[in-house]
Chain A
């Protein structure tokens, strides 16, 4: 029997940890709080060190908390991160997403800065400011940055944050060997999707949606060991899923894999989700890294990176590129389906659409179709937000 309005809105008969109120995906006030309480407090991946191979190379980054940043490698080869804002009239300092700048000069009034963030020149400074203001007052705002865990450049805009090591804890331990050699980004693209960032991270945190992928149904789900894979939760909202072997030859047209990954069994697959929106996805010959950057409650940029080994021969690299893009490129088999899925959720959960609940209620001993990965995420989300995802506006208390 179908449900009427009252039944539709009735709270699911699950523990409050096993469902969420869909307003957490659409409400602007909640989104602003997430920027302050989550994104501006957590370590976020800004880029990869291979994107800054030389001294003075820089890369811009739209931080999910809202700040515009750039990361730059100094003459000392250390990577530092700064606000991409001129302290004079608030102009953008670096316009291009990537480049090389020994001296960072604002195009507006030619104030200049070193790659260490020091102001090095204010044109006609003495004439205008006399002794009242000078280069010593006009440094750039530096934000905390560290390079690690596979050579990624991590940033944290909270000066009082814990260290990156404390933030990650043991969550990346399963990939320690896989990330121990120099890596290189070989592909990068972005997608803008009208959906909430958590819905993308949810998709990366549950494998029950393998039913959506013809490719996964025949190469993964039907293979021995698929249902043995287990989720493991870590402090700070991170989670991992163990390895399995993918039977690629079950999909017509798939090539035999000649290139693997150090420390990963042939056809292996390990996935680690880091709170609040980053995913390390190591599959056979390729490491894919997703970074979710929300632009609003219902608009999301996802940055996709594909990485191989810096030591790759041209032939090995070509195979990794093929492996990555036949599945995860913009014309790949699976990425389009995953993005179609969260696009559809965004459509269905628009404000006033009367969507109400999302269920995270599957319990299968933490194995692959258990929804414990999402529950683990929302436990951390609730702690940081001071709200329960199942009752974000305390409606139940008010009632």
Chain B
């Protein structure tokens, strides 16, 4: 596969892993220095906000604690389209921008509704042909998130 294909596949596999709640599988796609954030701009107060921020260890703790919390058990389906890939061969990294739509499907009756839209800004370590997620910023346009969610997007 070409580097572009490897990058696309990494991003799509990360969404598949999260959709299926395969959190170990998701973390396997991440570099040890991985950082994750959900951010947004809040026009009502004219400020940027970071709603969730973790390193790889923090993500693991979050995933490990999920069964201990009371949560909405609806499933999330992420629809991701990789828009742009910019490779930096000197750094052995790539920066990508992907469109994101997240749909929530209830367990009772399987009603699906749009949960959130935004973009994913990824930095990827090329890692000698075995690319890994180094940094992910899920940048949300949606800020009305109902009762919220415990699982990252």
- Chain A positions within 8 Å of B, measured between CB atoms, are 50-51, 59, 96-98, 185-193, 212-215, 251-253, 321-322, 325-326, 329-333, 335-337, 339-341, 343
* Residues from 36 to 71 in B contacting A, C-beta threshold 8 Å: 38, 42-47, 49-53, 58, 61-62, 64-65, 68-71
Give complex CA distance A192, B45 in Å: 19
Q: Do A336 and B72 touch across chains, with their CB atoms under 8 A apart? A: yes
Besides A51-B44, A51-B45, A333-B150, 20 other A-B contacts (C-beta < 8 A): A50-B45, A187-B42, A188-B42, A188-B45, A189-B143, A191-B144, A192-B146, A214-B68, A251-B65, A252-B61, A321-B49, A325-B50, A330-B51, A330-B145, A335-B148, A336-B71, A336-B72, A336-B147, A339-B147, A341-B70
Kindly state the separation between the CA atoms of A17 and B79 in the bound complex, as whole angstroms. 51
In the assembled complex, the Cα of A50 lies from the Cα of B47 at a distance in Å of 12
CB A192 to nearest CB in B, in angstroms, measures 7
In whole Å, how far is A313's beta carbon from the nearest beta carbon of chain B?
16
Contact with A along B61-97 (1 / 0, CB 8 A): 1101100111110000000000000000000000000
- Alpha-carbon distance A251/B42, docked complex (angstroms): 30
Nearest B residue to A303 via CB reads B44
Q: A337 vs B148: C-alpha distance in the bound complex, in angstroms?
A: 9
Shortest B28–chain A CB gap in Å is 20
Tell me whether B147 and A191 are in contact (CB under 8 A): yes
Contact pick for A185, options B45, B53, B146, B150, CB 8 Å: B45
B51 adjacent to A331 (CB under 8 Å): yes
Contact-residue bracket for chain B: 20 to 34
> Smallest Cβ distance from B7 to chain A, in angstroms?
26
Minimum CB–CB distance from A340 to chain B (whole Å) comes to: 6
Q: A190-B144, A330-B145 are in contact. Are A337 and B70 (CB under 8 A)?
A: yes
Which chain B positions have C-beta within 8 A of A189?
42, 143-145
Specify which chain B residues have a CB less than 8 angstroms from the CB of A332 in the assembled complex.
51, 148
25 A-B pairs in the complex with CB atoms less than 8 angstroms apart: A51-B44, A98-B43, A186-B45, A186-B47, A188-B45, A189-B42, A189-B143, A191-B145, A191-B146, A212-B70, A214-B65, A253-B61, A321-B49, A322-B53, A325-B51, A330-B51, A330-B149, A331-B51, A331-B52, A332-B51, A333-B69, A336-B148, A337-B69, A337-B70, A341-B70
Please determine whether B52 and A329 come into contact, CB atoms closer than 8 angstroms: yes
- A331-B52, A339-B148 known; A253 vs B47 contact (CB < 8 Å): no
B58 to chain A: closest CB distance in Å? 6
Shortest distance between the CB of A319 and any CB in chain B (Å): 11
Give the nearest-CB partner of A195 in chain B.
Answer: B147
Question: CB-CB < 8 A to B44: which residues of A?
Answer: 51, 59, 97-98, 188
Main DSSP-derived SS at the A contact region: mixed
A-B pairs with lowest CB-CB distance, top 5:
A339-B147, A253-B61, A330-B148, A336-B148, A330-B145
Decide if B3 is an interface residue (CB 8 Å cutoff). no
Taking a contact as CB atoms under 8 Å apart, the answer to whether A252 and B64 are in contact is yes
Is B129 part of the binding interface, using a Cβ–Cβ cutoff of 8 Å?
Answer: no
A340–B147 alpha-carbon span in the complex (Å): 6
Is B152 on the interface with A (CB-CB < 8 A)? yes
Which residues of the partner chain B approach A185 to less than 8 Å between Cβ atoms? 45, 47
In the complex, what residues of B have CB within 8 A of residue A325's CB? 49-53
Q: Which of A51, A188, A252, A340 meets B71, CB within 8 Å?
A: A340
- Interface positions, chain B 95-153, Cβ under 8 Å from A, are 143-150, 152
Closest to A53 in B: B46
- Please report the C-alpha to C-alpha distance between residue A192 and residue B148 in the assembled complex, in whole angstroms: 10
Q: Is the CB of B152 within 8 A of A331?
A: yes
What chain B residues lie within 8 Å of A214 (beta carbons)? 65, 68-70
Q: Shortest beta-carbon distance, B11 to chain A, in Å?
A: 20
Report the nearest B residue to A255, measured CB to CB: B58
Q: Which residues of A contact B45 (CB under 8 A)?
A: 50-51, 98, 185-188
Q: How far is the CA of A51 from the CA of B42 in the complex (A)?
A: 12
Q: Please measure, in the bound complex, the distance between the C-alpha atom of A51 and the C-alpha atom of B51, giving whole angstroms.
A: 20
Q: How far is the CA of A339 from the CA of B150 in the complex (A)?
A: 12
Is A331's CB under 8 angstroms from B148's CB?
A: yes
Bound complex: CA A340 to CA B47 (Å)? 27
Cross-chain contact B146 with A321 (CB below 8 angstroms): no
Taking CB atoms, residues of chain B closer than 8 Å to A215 are 69
Q: Specify which chain A residues have a CB less than 8 angstroms from the CB of B68 in the assembled complex.
A: 214
Given A214-B65, A333-B69, check contact A193 B58 (CB 8 Å): no
B69 surroundings in chain A (CB, below 8 A):
214-215, 333, 336-337
A98 vs B43: C-alpha distance when bound (angstroms): 7
Contact partner of A193 (CB less than 8 A), chosen from B43, B65, B147, is B147
Q: Tell me which residues across on chain B come within 8 A of A340, comparing CB atoms.
A: 70-72, 147
Residue of A186, A252, A337, A343 near B65 (CB, 8 A) is A252
Q: Could you tell me the distance in whole angstroms from the C-beta of A305 to the nearest C-beta in chain B?
A: 8
Which residues of chain B have C-beta atoms less than 8 A from A193's C-beta? 146-147
Query: Closest CB of chain B to A254's CB: distance in Å?
Result: 9
Residue numbers in A under 8 Å from B38 (CB-CB):
331
